[in-house]
Every structure is written in C-alpha cells, then in structure tokens.
Amino acid sequence: MIKNYLKIAFRNLRNQKGYAFINISGLAVGLACCILIMIYVTHELSYDKHHEYSDRIYRVVSKIDFSGNYLELATAPAPMGPTLKQDFPEVEAVTRFRPIGSRIVKRGDMNIKEDGLVLADPSVFRVFTIPMQYGDPETALEKPNTVVITDKIAQKYFGKLDAVGERIIILDEFEFEVTGVIEEMPSTSHFHFNFMLSMSTTEEAENNSWFSNNFRTYVLLKPGVDAERFEENFETIKKQYVEPQLKSFMGISLDEFEAAGNSAEYALQPLTSIHLYSDLTGEFEPNGSITYVYIFSGLAVFVLLLACINFMNLATARSSVRAREVGIRKTLGSARSQLTVQFLSETVLLSILAMFVALFLVELSLPYFSNLSGTDIRSGYLNEPTIMAGLFAVVLITGLFAGSYPAVMLSSLKPSRVLKGVFSEQWRHIFMRKGLVVFQFSISIVIIVGLLVINKQLNFIQSKELGFSKDQIIIVEDAYTLGSSYAVDALKEEMLKDPIFKSATISSFFPVQGYSKNDLVHWPKGEEPTQNNTVSMQTWTVDEDYIPTLGMELVAGRNFDEERGTEEQTVILNESAVKRFKFEDPVGESIVSYGFDHNGNIDNSQVREYRIIGVVKDFHYESLRRNIEPLGLFYGKSSGNVAFAIGASNSREAIEKLEAWWNEKAPDRPFNYSFMDQQFEQMYRSEQRVQNLMTAFSLIALFIACLGLFGLSAHSVNRRTKEIGIRKVMGATVPNVLALISGEFLKLVVISFLISIPISYFAATRWLNDFTYRTNIGVDIFLLTGLGAILIALLTVSGQSVKAALMNPADSLRSE
C-alpha cells in the first residue's frame, strides 16, 4: 500500500513540475534556514562543555559598589584563588589567569607581535581539560620563565610540534623555556590563548591586595559540593581577609563600609553559563548572548512556519483541480482515511526532497553564514546526532503539518457534488487561509521592524557625539619596542614636520577597545579616606597633546603645559569625576591617593598628591551600553603607543611614511598600526553580526511570505474567474478588476501591520534597554515598514490581478 502511495505521489509531482518546484524550493529555503540556525544554536550552547569537569568548574566574579561606582567584574582579587584552595576542603583545585595582551616575540630573525598571552598558575591543567601533545602538564608551569605554547605557534617558530626544551624571547627580552605544547583551544571556548606563561615569572604572583581585581579565577569543586551553599564562605573570607585591609586603608570596619551603602560581593559563576549569560567588565573575549539564541531560534521556527503556510496555501489553491480527482477516487471505493494518507504521503515526500535540496543549500551557504555569525562552524554538522535527529524530526513534522489541512479538506469533499462541477469552499476554509497570510506578513513585518531598529541603533552609535574624534586617527602600536622614550619622541617629532600629520600624542590609554584601563581610589586633599569621600576612577597617563589630538573639549581650566616643568603632579578630571568629588570649583583643588609597593599591594606610607588644573568634557571611553564613569588624565611621559591625527585623504600616504621611518630606525621590529574608528567598531561586533543575520533572514522571510501571497492570489483569481467575467460583461473596467483583486490582499497586509506594531515595539524596546545610550524607535520605522509591506504586496499580486483584469469574459465564463 505504501509503495502504491509513493508511486502515485511521484507521478503527481512529475505531472505538476511547476507546482512541485515552487513547493520544494519554498520548503527547501525554509528548511535550510532552520538547519543553519540549528547549527548556530547548537554551537552556542556547547561552549566550554568539552572540559571533563565542566559541571564542577566555576569562575569567581566580583560585584563592587563603592562611592557610587558599581562594577560587575569577571575578575577577583589576587589572593582569592590561593585562599580558597588553602582554607576550604570543598575545593579540589583552583587556577588563575592574568591576560597580558600583545607582546613582541623573538626567535632568531623572527620578530613578531603576537596576541593571546596569559600568565597562568601551574594548576591550570588540573582544572581544565587542555590536551597536551608534548610536555608534562603536572610540572609545565611550575618554574619561572617557562611557557606552554599551542601547536600552531610551535610550528610557526620552530618548524616542528615537539618544541619542548626550546627557548624563545618574550616580555621585553626575557628568555622563556618551552615546557609544553598544547592543542589550540576549540572555537567553543570562552577563552583562547597562544602562550601560557608561568605565573611565578612576575611579582604579581605574590600580590596579596584584596583591592586589586586583576585575576580571572576558576574553582573546581569536589563532586557533590553545592555551589550555592559554598558561596556562603565568601562572607567568611571578607571578614577574615578583606576587613583588615579595609581598616588599614580607610580606617573603618566592614560593617561600617556596608552601612554607608557600599558593598563587595563575590559569587561563583558556572563555567558553561559564561558565554551566553555573562557580559561583565574584564571578560576574556566578547561573549554571546542568550537573547540572540532565543531570537534566532524564534526566527528558525517562524521561517519554517512561513514555508509550511506557503505549502498549505498553494495546495488549497489547487483544490479545485484536485477536487475532481478526489470525487473519482471516492466513487471507485477509496476511503477518506486512504485519501488522507495519500495526500500526506505527497507532502512528506515533498519535505524529504526539500531536505536534500536544503542540505545542498546549507553546504553552499555555510562559509558565508559562519562569516556573518562570527562563529567557526564547519560542515561536520552532519556528524552531530542532535542536529540530524532534529532535522529528520523537523522534516517529518513539516510534511505532516503542511499537508494536514489540504489532506483533511480535500478528503472531506462529496463525490456527487464535485463530479457535477459544483465545488465551493466553506467560509472557514477561506478564513483560515487568509488568516495564515496575515500570520505570515505579521511575522515578516516584526522581523523587518527589528532589523530597522538595529540599523538605527548602530547608526546612532556611529553618529553620536562621543566627546572625542575617532576618525582619521592612526595609532602606531607598541612604540616602546623602539627601545627608548627618546626614540618614540623622535618618531612623533619627525612625522609632525610633514603637513599631512596635524598633531600627535603618546600614551598607552585610548578611549576604544584594546587599550589599557585601570582603576585607582582617590579622595580630596586634607581629608582622611572614608566611604563618603573616596572616588574610584580611571587613571590615564597622557601628554600635553592628548586632548587636542583627540579633539576633546576643556570646559574649565587649562591643558597640560610641558614648559611649566611641574605638570607631573597635576590632573585633568572629566565632568563625572568632578560630580563624584562634589567640587563646586574644581580648578585649584587637589586629590590624593595611596601608592603601591613592588608586589602591587597598597602602601599607606606612599601618598601621592595631584592638583586639578582643568576639567574635560565627558567622553565615552567604553561601550554606549555603559555610563560614563569618573576619569582622570594624569600628566606623564609614556612610550606605549603614538596616535597621529591626519587629513581625510592622507591615510595611505601617512601609513607609507610611518612604515618607512620605522623600517629605517628599527628594521628588526615589526611595524603595527590601527585606525581608531575601526577599534571603536570592534565594541559593537555582536550587534553588527546580528544586523547582518537579521538582514539575511528578513529577506528570506519576506520572500517566503510573498510566495504565500502569490499562492493565495492565484487561488483567488482561479476561484473568482466566473465572477470577474460577469463583472466585465456588466461593464467593469480593468482598473475596477485590479482594485477588486488587489484590495482583497491589501486589507490582509493592513491587518498584519496593525497586529505587528505592538509586538515589534515591545521586542525592540526590550533589546534597546541593553544600551545606556539608545535611539528612539520613532513612528518613522513603522510607517516605512507599513508602506514597504503594502508596496511589496501590490507587486506580488499585480501579475495575477493584471491577468484576471485582461481575461476575455467569454473565455472565463466558458471555463466555468
């Protein structure tokens, strides 16, 4: 019986090639989108699950509320890790990371700037499952000046994988011994690195300050330990270790500190939740978002629904053609159940054929999709049982769902009526079909509104007044590798002789991603530090050309002046810092802070005083998701990076001059540069990726919706052929007929638009709430979307409308 059903189904598809093509292509596009999103979601949900003990690994995070500054940090104090391992038997192992950014790496004639360098405790291999190809994971990082590298780095510098025992120069001429070679971290890891340097190499390993939150600390709990109950131990840690340093620093107890509205809280964050649920200050890398996983999962369902609805509409649009077939089959003895199975077998067969086409489309589009989504997704998805099981389930459900309504409707026809040529649809069938089109366009409009809101927010970010100029700024990086501050000054002075360079500044601090940030506590001179007068603020070392080069605005006081010779003890605050210090007239006031000893611990004997000489207008030095926090610009000479302001059309020429000078003065050092506006854009990579994906899926959803509208218009013209003929005989003109057909569908689009407005407004508002500074949604977005939907609908049905309007009444009446 099944074989017979399949033979009939194949014959019907062969005899109706146009119908089969439209249905298979529509379902294939829908399934391809669904498969791509399934791959993406599976990839996002699999982060950090490759570690053997991933269910027992937690990151220690900090939540600090101090003097009005609230910070949620992915870091913890330096002594947190050793304290947890020493004091609590529930802890099996602890390890810490201290990222150190980019450094020049040397070996022989090779002199390359490398990214992904971290300091790590020896216990890193006890906590994390990091396959080591060569070396002993138990001892690899025990000694100072040892390093573990990835297999890619080993091949790059040594031409072989077994590089254990080889030596390489890192960290300003320090020689390191390679003690291990590991595999590269998989793409589904929330951290990646190329070099792991032993923590004992630097003095930071001995840092015992509980106010220095610089370490990414990970805890492996013993089996059966409840993480929530274990978190109660942090209160003990605060009392035993934090309070003594608090009393030494501010002269108050922990209770007094918290009574003033301040707090320092620590918590355990599950390793497998970091990628999708964490956006803290100090993350290893930009994380994903569970919100976007939900959004794209919803898109997959909606796009597939659109494809199914298309199939249902196209099938019912052909019901009058299949009605006579049903009547004959029933007359010959076919039961209703047999007819239902027959029609369902056709739709399941269509779905299976569409699946193979969809897999072909996925293979073609996978590299493009990986680039759009910013994920490293390869074609090995067919080996994933979850994806394949989900795919076959989706195909089967799609076939049954898409074919259920046409099968039930057609199998219920009475043979006595359809064989006489009497076939009219019941109002509920017509209502359901129109309702499906409304549903299609409602979804499409919501998606398009979401896309327009994302575009508007990104444009708002790009055009918002930031308080500094990011355009036409070239940053020559790692200028310190020139060997001395004199050489760096020479670079700056030599370039400024050329008129294409307008100005230049030397600093390690710039208001874009990828440059140094630091926090220190200050308070007004003449007062003892208390919870009421201390301000935690960014402290950036800059020169006298920093403010003019970056186009910042002084709202009070003056800029630094090297000729005065006393600027090292001066500071320029931003407006937020002035408000936090509660200075009415800040120029001339002084602030102080404690210094640090060689281990990075607070040293009360060192008190540094700075006189305020100016106030700079607030500028955004972090993402627009965050508020502008207090910041101080401190005068000092630096050799980190040199930023040049250039003319709008001089980029290529400026780069050539800089590179030529560099290669002449430091031929053995790599020349690295970047544009500040490009660095700024890196802060919004996730939004840009979502924008790209939304654009692609919006176009696909709109295409599928238009296919559905085309199917319904074809069905409507077919059903109203006789009516149109009579109207034309009675004097109706071509415009009358066009208005009749098109008006029917315009009403559906208008209804869809009205339904979609509150839904899209709510969703867009929720997304924008993640930004501290955000655009208004505005009526223009909805008007633009509504007019666009109406225009697209008119274009979609125009072919059928014109065909019906130009039809000869004699032919249409004879056909009936």
Q: How far apart are CA 736 and CA 758, in angstroms?
A: 34
**Residue 641: alpha-carbon gap to chain centroid:** 28
DSSP summary character for residue 414: -
- DSSP state, residue 133: E
**Rama region for 557: left / alpha / beta (φ>0; ψ in -120 to 50; rest):** left
pLDDT in tens, 588-605: 999 988 766 555 556 666
Dist. CA 191–CA 188, nearest whole Å: 9
Strands 216-221 and 57-66: antiparallel
Write out the DSSP string of 339-394. Answer: HHHHHHHHHHHHHHHHHHHHHHHHHHHHHHHHHHHT----GGGGG-HHHHHHHHHH
Region class of 583: left (phi > 0), else alpha (psi between -120 and 50), else beta: beta
d(CA 109, CA 640): 24
The torsion region of residue 596 among left (phi > 0), alpha (psi -120 to 50) and beta comes to: beta
pTM for this model (two decimals): 0.79
* Distance in angstroms (rounded) separating the CA atoms of residues 363 and 376: 14
pLDDT of residue 634: 93
**Calpha distance 506→644 (Å, rounded):** 9
Please name the helix (run of DSSP H) or strand (run of DSSP E) that holds residue 485, with its range, or none. Answer: helix 485-495
pLDDT value, residue 39 = 84
pLDDT at 809: 65
Hunting for tokens 């009403």 — which residue is that? Answer: 747
Strand 110-120 relative to strand 132-135, pairing: unpaired
> Helix or strand or coil: residue 640?
coil
Strands, DSSP E only, in 418-518?
Answer: 473-476, 501-507
Can you tell me the distance from the alpha carbon of 197 to that of 190, in angstroms, rounded to the nearest whole number? 19
Residue-wise pLDDT for 133-181, tens only, equals 999 999 999 999 999 999 999 999 999 999 999 999 987 678 999 999 9
One-character DSSP codes across 134-158: EE-TTTTTSSTTEEEEEHHHHHHHH
580: exposed, middle or buried (C-beta count within 10 Å: 0-12, 13-18, 19+)? buried
CB-based contacts of 571, cutoff 8 Å, min separation 6: 591, 610, 611, 612, 613, 632, 633, 634, 635
State the sign of the Cα–Cα–Cα–Cα dihedral 716, 721, 723, 725: positive
CA distance 342 to 11: 12
pLDDT at position 238: 94
10-residue stretch averages of pLDDT, the chain, 816 residues long = 63 66 81 86 91 97 80 91 95 95 85 90 96 94 95 94 93 87 93 94 81 90 95 94 85 82 91 92 85 84 81 65 66 70 77 87 86 72 71 79 70 62 58 78 85 84 83 87 83 91 90 66 83 83 93 94 82 94 91 68 72 94 81 86 86 90 85 86 76 80 77 69 71 73 81 91 86 83 87 78 67 56
Residue 679's CB: how many other CB atoms inside 10 A? Answer: 18
Please report the pLDDT score of residue 86 as a whole number: 94
The H-or-E segment that residue 163 falls in is none
Long-range contacts of 356-359 (CB under 8 A, 24+ apart): 357/24, 357/25, 357/28, 357/32, 358/27, 358/28, 358/29, 358/30, 358/31, 358/32, 358/34, 358/35, 359/32, 359/35
CB 673 within 8 A of CB 658: yes
Burial 108-133 (b: 16+ CB within 10 A, else e): eeebeebebbbbbbbbbbebbebebe
Give the C-alpha separation, 802 to 740, whole Å.
11
Tell me which residue of 98, 103, 137 sits closest to 118, measured CA to CA. 98
Alpha-carbon distance of 306 to 30, in angstroms, equals 8
Cα 764–Cα 767–Cα 772 angle in degrees, nearest 5: 120
